[in-house]
């Protein structure tokens, strides 16, 4: 995404080198519904006109929802007070082609979302999450503050949301694989907590697929964007737990013949 965005900005402001800074770093394949990016420019384009101007030059997979002017001291990453991620799990037995690009299909066992919720609740607060940091991270330490956790089930869909002051490299995908093990009763709640509290990185051997994860938004101390442009940009899917409705009656032509 960054290369396409840099190129589009350069087309509108060709007289200076462009460097963009994002609120959060995402792995390849991870979605971003509310990524925030800032850049310096010299082009005489009104702040609110940058979004439509860029969208006319970006591929269809990338869209700018809103553009605003910020002070020179403001930074998309360092000025943020939190980032929020959502991970979507499709826990139904049958595959769903409309959900597969945006969710992890775990169909073998019905996940115990109450156990998953109990496991996550203990993570709220400032902790060292070395167990959930991939190799190659450039951070000097693995401490971060988890501000809120949610586990919601709607039919066969489970949404896990985690909000923190910052995230470690690969943190959410490593954490989600462990959380699914808890939901499938392959790992106890106590065992999950023991792994991250005792920094047992060697026991965290798998990561959840990237395509189930979405950077939902980055938050700032002050109001910057409209709610429609910033707050909850990833659509939600809802599946009913009840049996499907009966087949509809066949339609009839005005003359009474079946279609």
Sequence-distant (6+) residues with CB within 8 A of 7 are: 57
| Cα Rg, the chain, nearest whole Å | 22
Q: Which of 27, 112, 128, 232 is catalytic?
A: 27
Sequence-distant (6+) residues with CB within 8 A of 248 are: none
- The DSSP code for 49 is G
Give catalytic status of residue 27 as yes or no. yes
Are the C-beta atoms of residues 243 and 251 closer than 8 Å to each other?
no
Interior angle at CA 99, CA 93 and CA 105, nearest 5? 40
User: How many CA atoms lie within 13 Å of 157's alpha carbon, on the beta-carbon side?
Assistant: 17
Residue in this structure with the two tokens 């951070």, named with its chain if needed: 139
Residue in this structure with the two tokens 């809802």, named with its chain if needed: 238
Give catalytic residue positions: 27
């Amino acid at each position: 995404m960054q290369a396409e965005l840099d190129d589009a900005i350069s087309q509108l402001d060709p007289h200076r080198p462009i460097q963009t800074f994002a609120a959060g770093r995402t792995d390849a394949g991870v979605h971003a519904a509310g990524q925030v990016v800032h850049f310096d420019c010299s082009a005489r384009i009104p702040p609110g006109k940058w979004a439509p101007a860029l969208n006319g030059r970006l591929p269809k997979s990338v869209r700018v929802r809103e553009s605003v002017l910020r002070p020179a001291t403001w930074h998309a990453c360092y000025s943020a007070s939190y980032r929020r991620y959502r991970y979507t799990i499709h826990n139904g037995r049958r595959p769903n082609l409309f959900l597969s690009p945006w969710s992890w299909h775990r169909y073998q066992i019905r996940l115990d979302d109450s156990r998953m919720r109990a496991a996550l609740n203990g993570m709220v607060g400032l902790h060292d999450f070395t167990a959930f940091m991939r190799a190659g991270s450039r951070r000097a330490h693995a401490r971060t503050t988890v501000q809120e956790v949610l586990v919601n089930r709607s039919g066969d869909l489970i949404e896990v949301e985690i909000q923190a002051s910052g995230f470690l490299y690969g943190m959410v995908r490593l954490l989600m694989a462990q959380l699914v093990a808890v939901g499938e009763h392959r790992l106890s709640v106590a065992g999950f907590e023991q792994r991250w509290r005792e920094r047992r990185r060697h026991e965290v051997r798998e990561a959840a697929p990237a395509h189930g994860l979405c950077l939902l938004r980055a938050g700032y101390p002050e109001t910057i964007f409209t709610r429609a442009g910033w707050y909850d940009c990833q659509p939600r899917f809802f599946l009913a737990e009840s049996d499907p409705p009966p087949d509809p009656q066949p339609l009839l032509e005005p003359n009474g013949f079946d279609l």
